[in-house]
Amino acid sequence: MCKVCLQDFSLSYQTPDMEVTAIAGVNLNIYEGEFISIIGPSGCGKSTLLSALSGLNKDGEGLIRIDGNVGYMPQQDCLFPWRTVMDNVLLGPELHGRYSPSDKAYATSLLEKYGLKDSASKYPRELSGGMRQRTALIRTLVYGADILLLDEAFSALDYQTRLKVVDDIYSIIRQEKKTALLVTHDISEAISVSDRVCVMRGQPGTITTNISINYPKDMSPSDRRQSPDFQQYFHLLKEELQYEQRN
């Protein structure tokens, strides 16, 4: 089943002296349980695409169909520093005035399952970067999101932490059977998590190529990085990106 469907989708920004067409003619279908990444040069319209899918920007034209609840994880984890981990995780139901014992039970079970049980009453400043990212992801799950949009969600982390966090977040997304769209500058990261990588070019932004990445779903991002095919995917995507930047 198609969870996200964009057909001939465009979005322009109105600036004081001109209209900027950020993306144009974007076609994208994401199916249930798929993990898609988008790579492309800075300014090509990746965040614009996510802001349209998240509903934050409603100025787009063309067909946009979303079947499910969207959860958006920006680059910074956006946890509230004055709230504990548990209170951060329960923010969604609280804001919607439908806080129930079952929300708390679900939150508790996810915190326990993903190694944050002992941190439930801690504040974000007491957590590592990876723990904060996991808390932010659990918050979107408790909110009821089944389509996750991740915009450079790991780029604030140092390299070693990032590898570990990507493994953890990937495993949570797969275990909870979510559909995910990751924007990243990092070709290796895209290959390590995706079923498919979309390459974008800019001015105006559009998706030019889709490359299927064929690994078993239960293979971790770290194990993919060690596999013999990994370098081939890397070179293929690097060439695509360079081609788009030259033309």
Ligand X SMILES: Nc1ncnc2c1ncn2[C@@H]1O[C@H](COP(=O)(O)OP(=O)(O)OP(=O)(O)O)[C@@H](O)[C@H]1O
Contact at 8 Å (CB) between 28 and 198? yes
Inter-axis angle of helices 159-175 and 129-142, nearest 10: 20
Q: Does 58 bind ligand X (CB under 6 A)?
A: no
- Give whichever of 47 and 192 is closer to Mg ion, judged by the CB atom: 47
Q: Which of 10, 37, 47, 194 binds Mg ion (CB under 5 A)?
A: 47
Q: Does 178 bind ligand X (CB under 6 A)?
A: no
Q: In what order do the strands lie in the sheet with 179-183?
A: 70-73, 147-151, 179-183, 35-39, 196-201, 206-212
- Give whichever of 67 and 186 is closer to ligand X, judged by the CB atom: 186
Q: Which of 22, 39, 136, 166 binds ligand X (CB under 6 A)?
A: 22
Candidates 47-55, 77-85, 173-181, 222-230: pick the segment binding Mg ion (CB under 5 A). Answer: 47-55
Residue 114 CA to residue 139 CA, distance in Å, equals 12
Candidates 1-9, 44-52, 108-116, 123-131: pick the segment binding Mg ion (CB under 5 A). Answer: 44-52
Identify the sign of the CA torsion 141, 147, 148, 151. Answer: negative
The listed partner (Mg ion, ligand X, none) that binds 115, CB under 5 to 8 Å by sort, is none
Q: Does 39 bind ligand X (CB under 6 A)?
A: no
Backbone angles phi, psi at 203, to 5 degrees: 55, 70
Q: Which of 36, 44, 145, 213 binds ligand X (CB under 6 A)?
A: 44
**Range 165-178 burial, b when 16+ CB lie within 10 A, else e:** bbbbbbebbbebeb
Question: Residues in the site for ligand X, rule: CB under 6 A?
Answer: 13, 15, 20, 22, 40, 42-48
